[in-house]
Structure 1
Amino acid sequence: MDSRISARALSIALGGWRTREPAYEALADGIRLLCLDNRLAPRTTLPAERELASALHMSRSTVAAAYRSLRASGHITSARGSGSTTLPLGRRDPGRVLATEGYIDLQQASPAAWPGLAGVMTEAAASAAGLIARSGYDVLGRRELRAAIAQRYSARGLATTEDEILVTTGAQSAIHLLSGLLVSRGDRVVIETPTYPHAADALRRAGARLVGLPVTVDDGWDLERARQVFARTLPVLAYLMPDFQNPTGRSMSSEERAELALAADRAGTIIVLDETTADLDIDRGPVPPGFDGHEATSVVRIGSFGKTVWGGLRVGWIRADADLIRRLVAARPAQDLGTPEFEQAVVTALLSRFDRVLEQRSQLLREGREAAISALSDHLPQWRVATPHGGVSLWVELDAPLSSALVMDVRSRGLLLSAGPRFSVDGGHDRHLRIPFTAPAEDLTRAIGLLAESWRTVRDGAPVSLIDEFDAVV
């Protein structure tokens, strides 16, 4: 069924869209980026020209010109009496389907497959006769795999049994499953901002009213805001990434973990910890304690092999108390009927050599991180770049709020990125850019060279009032 977006919602999603002249093309570019990021789904009806003009405090003729530009580029179609509707992207825009044709794709912060994966897959294939003898429908997960995952938690000091593990089809499946079971329409859910956008999408789809908890590279989690949010809104759930948070790369301190656990405990909130990046340590050292005092009932953990092994290996898991696992198993068939047997066999074999996987990953990410930081220092020294101790990306602060315009311009030069606002829960981050360092070092160096070329064009073309306003704030 087609959906609609109100003028107010579209104006919020556009954020600081007026980044170049003429204004109608800046507005059209803003809407194009929302389509490319899938923040505007295909077949979404846009506001009427008069309504959007009123919401943006501009003339109707400017909005009309923007819609004409969008029709010309194939992003929308318009019909008298039916309004303007976004179209499926197809192949008119360079996207992931063309990433092998000369484009550098940094939209997905995922490294290439671990080099030994093909060998492990070959080993698993040798046991195919045993795999196909099973029913193939297993909503809980292979006992051997659940036991192996539980053992890794126990080795961390979190005593875990196989009955407290549910194997899922990746971390995103885990997030959807938890959202559908634990969140009802209108429930408040605390989520970091910026954050992993697909988690926010899943929670919204479940009917959640998201409450943003700011996290920054310099200052970490806003604990004062956290105390207020938990006390005033009594959220049913909090979605947090405590280790190498995506996109900032920041990890929680012991104090932050303890404060957030206490605030959630007082509010009766279930904490969902997304630990998909937790193993991607480069040079952090021991993990600070935290949350483990609440493991029995109020902390749920999500993990996957997508970042550590390969994005195409769609195996994740949920760690929770046995009662919640049973409820999830009962609810799961409405979403899917289990994780494929072959992938589970591959992952089971991988876990016996997982330390080697993580050692290779650490080296790969270190090389990417250093290459990206060095290139940014050489080509864009005016940008602020912090060095994360692990994870998959840099959260870079630009010297003007032109992230969306930059992403649109550099796309035409062969580089695919996601703008800062894509990671925002409630608007903003127009002066931030996520740069994954999961690609080969030579690709990252070339990508940042393209960014530097594009930045000169975008900044020079921005309205003087926008740059002056930003410089005055800074």
Structure 2
Amino acid sequence: MSDAKIGTRAFVALLGDWRGRASGPSYLALFDRIRLLVLDGRIPTDTRLPAERDLAQALGVSRTMVSAAYRELRDAGYTRSIRGSGSVARLPGRAPVTGQEAPGDFIDFSKATMPAYPGLFDATQAAMAGYAVELGGTGIDPFGSRILREAVAERYTARGLPTSVDQVMITIGAQHAIFLLARTLMSRGDRAVVELPSYPHAYEALRMAGARLVPVTVSARGSGAAPEGLHGWDAAGLAQAFARTSPALAYLMPDFHNPTGESMPEELRARLLHDAARQGSLVVADETTAELDIDRAGSFLPLAAYGDAATADSAVLIGSVGKTVWAGLRVGWIRATPAIIRKLAAARFAGDLGTPVLEQLVVAELLRDFDPVLRLRSAQLRAGRDELRGLLAEAFPEWQVPAVDGGLAVWANIGAPVSSQLALAARSHGLLITAGPRFGIDGAFERSLRVPIGYENPDLVRGVQALAAAWRTVSAGPVPHSELYADVV
């Protein structure tokens, strides 16, 4: 069992406005909020919760009320009592663990992904001839298959960023790339600039490497989170974050940012690399959604292309086929200087022995003619976006829903700080969706909700109908109990 624990102050920050609109007993409202924190991973399993007395004092409530909430958590299977350690978080035995599909007929909006590309099976068959040849080797290579590294390098070059094979490493998906970079390029206590909101598993990877996060705000257009005409990255805040904290690295998503859908202006990209180079920092650009363009104005290059001879090497790029081809095809890559690639390869064997060979050959086959994949995805996302906006406008006229021009989701302003309550209620109506604070730090974004656009009818219609039913439940009173769990992607 892990000996991890969460401090009382950090716990209270995660709880946020835990009472919300609940009209029932306070202990049930507290139970529901803690339960959601465990369900969506903000409190990892095997984490020791604060003592009842300490939490009661911090919340300004009676210890009896906190004891009742903890008892509900225990009875429902969300904690277990360990002698000398108090209450430790766990998932109920009947709840799916991270990454598993929920049982029954549920719509899963917690994952902003696309169905498998129809040509994936044919590409797999075409790769089998090359696989037979590869069977003569060991299959272990920290750099990755040369065939795929060449294909990735050629793809970057075609997109306007000349790239050589020795600048590419193949990884087991983008999340593996983030973790490997954080573990290898950071030391405990180093600062890392991150966007707020952002991809939650990136926060986790950086924290596991001992990083101290320095957040910079990203606001969605038309979401009500910023004055009209002001959206996207806080440029002044970004510059100050580099100047004041000298971060070891920054983790950013400059194209179709998750979850807001924003794209960084070209002039800010060049300025970002200049600021990073001046501080000796690296900018890790997650470009997993960069080519999921629907109707974005202009043509954008990979981030490193906006640097000059003195600044381009500050950019480390991450890509994968998880968002474009299929999330189950766990192949990604890192583009960096040859020196960084060699450093990553030297450190890699402590965690894994390389990326599966067959999957690499399949991806290489697809990258040789990738335009059909992108054309299909653009058409699918356009249809999903337009249909979703219509459905949300009809069901939730009070919500502010940004008009995204690419990516996989919209970041809606739901107008009230009830995102966590809504996510809980949605589970009882057959919908898995992630509360807004999952994309933030310390309980932010209770007024926000990420809704994916990659689903097709009838799932999209059913999902919005379930969300509308949940919204009525939240508006009417306390949130009902539910036992479903889903991770966020």
TM-score range, shorter chain: over 0.9
**Equivalent residues of 2:131, 2:361 under 8 A apart:** no
Q: How does 1:259-408 map to 2 (within 5 A)?
A: 259-288=271-300, 291=304, 292-294=306-308, 296-408=312-424
1:260-290 Cα offsets, whole Å, 9 max, x none, are 2232233221101000000101111433466
1:122-164 Cα offsets, whole Å, 9 max, x none, are 2223444213212110111111211111111112221110000
- Once the two structures are TM-superposed, the CA of residue 78 in structure 1 deviates from its matched residue by 2.0
The one-letter amino acid of 1:419's match is A
Residue of structure 1 equivalent to 2:18: 17
The one-letter amino acid of 1:367's match is A
Question: More deviation in 252-261 or 228-237?
Answer: 252-261
**Equivalent residues of 1:187, 1:207 under 8 A apart:** yes
Q: How does 1:175-186 map to 2 (within 5 A)?
A: 175-186=178-189
**Equivalent residues of 1:230, 1:263 under 8 A apart:** yes
**Equivalent residues of 1:43, 1:88 under 8 A apart:** no
Distance 1:94 1:322 in 2: 39
| SS, match of residue 93 in structure 2 | coil
- Once the two structures are TM-superposed, the CA of residue 79 in structure 1 deviates from its matched residue by 4.5
- Once the two structures are TM-superposed, the CA of residue 421 in structure 1 deviates from its matched residue by 0.3
Distance 1:361 1:350 in 2: 14
**Equivalent residues of 2:293, 2:407 under 8 A apart:** yes
Residue of structure 1 equivalent to 2:433: 417
Distance 1:267 1:353 in 2: 39
Distance 1:104 1:96 in 2: 15
Cα–Cα, structure 1 residues 363 and 275, in superposed 2: closer, same or farther, change >3 Å?
Answer: same
Cα–Cα, structure 1 residues 268 and 440, in superposed 2: closer, same or farther, change >3 Å?
Answer: same
In the alignment, which of 125, 136, 140 is matched to residue 139 of structure 2?
A: 136
Is residue 2:239 matched to residue 1:223? no
**Equivalent residues of 1:53, 1:59 under 8 A apart:** yes
The one-letter amino acid of 1:293's match is G
Q: What's the TM-score, normalizing by structure 2?
A: 0.91
- Once the two structures are TM-superposed, the CA of residue 353 in structure 1 deviates from its matched residue by 2.1
Is residue 2:6 matched to residue 1:5? yes
Distance 1:93 1:167 in 2: 31
Aligned Cα root-mean-square deviation (Å) = 1.8
Residue of structure 2 equivalent to 1:457: 473
| SS, match of residue 459 in structure 2 | helix
- Once the two structures are TM-superposed, the CA of residue 93 in structure 1 deviates from its matched residue by 6.0
Distance 1:298 1:128 in 2: 36
1:410-444 Cα offsets, whole Å, 9 max, x none, are 10111001100000034310010001112223211
Distance 2:462 2:138 in 1: 49
Distance 1:403 1:281 in 2: 28
**Equivalent residues of 1:296, 1:321 under 8 A apart:** no
Is residue 2:36 matched to residue 1:33? yes
Distance 2:131 2:264 in 1: 43
Cα–Cα, structure 1 residues 39 and 386, in superposed 2: closer, same or farther, change >3 Å?
Answer: same
Distance 1:6 1:164 in 2: 42
The one-letter amino acid of 2:110's match is Q
1:217-256 Cα offsets, whole Å, 9 max, x none, are 0210011211221111111101110000000111111232
| SS, match of residue 195 in structure 2 | strand
Residue of structure 2 equivalent to 1:188: 191
Cα–Cα, structure 1 residues 88 and 177, in superposed 2: closer, same or farther, change >3 Å?
Answer: same
% identical aligned pairs = 51
- Once the two structures are TM-superposed, the CA of residue 462 in structure 1 deviates from its matched residue by 6.7
Distance 1:200 1:28 in 2: 25
* More relative contact order, 1 or 2 (CA 8 Å, 6+ apart): 2
- Once the two structures are TM-superposed, the CA of residue 54 in structure 1 deviates from its matched residue by 1.7
**Equivalent residues of 1:170, 1:314 under 8 A apart:** yes
Q: How does 1:137-216 map to 2 (within 5 A)?
A: 137-216=140-219
The one-letter amino acid of 2:18's match is W
Residue of structure 2 equivalent to 1:73: 76
| SS, match of residue 4 in structure 1 | coil
| SS, match of residue 470 in structure 2 | helix
**Residue segments in structure 1 that go unaligned for 5+ positions in a row:** 464-474
Aligned residues: 463
Question: More deviation in 424-433 or 412-421?
Answer: 424-433
Distance 1:281 1:169 in 2: 24
- Once the two structures are TM-superposed, the CA of residue 95 in structure 1 deviates from its matched residue by 7.7
| SS, match of residue 44 in structure 1 | coil
Question: More deviation in 110-119 or 223-232?
Answer: 223-232
Distance 2:41 2:210 in 1: 19
Cα–Cα, structure 1 residues 462 and 223, in superposed 2: closer, same or farther, change >3 Å?
Answer: farther
Residue of structure 2 equivalent to 1:470: none
- Once the two structures are TM-superposed, the CA of residue 296 in structure 1 deviates from its matched residue by 4.1
1:424-467 Cα offsets, whole Å, 9 max, x none, are 0343100100011122232112111111111122123279xxxx
Residue of structure 2 equivalent to 1:236: 248
| SS, match of residue 307 in structure 2 | helix
Distance 1:368 1:357 in 2: 16
**Equivalent residues of 1:12, 1:427 under 8 A apart:** yes
- Once the two structures are TM-superposed, the CA of residue 363 in structure 1 deviates from its matched residue by 1.1
**Equivalent residues of 1:372, 1:441 under 8 A apart:** no
**Equivalent residues of 2:77, 2:93 under 8 A apart:** no
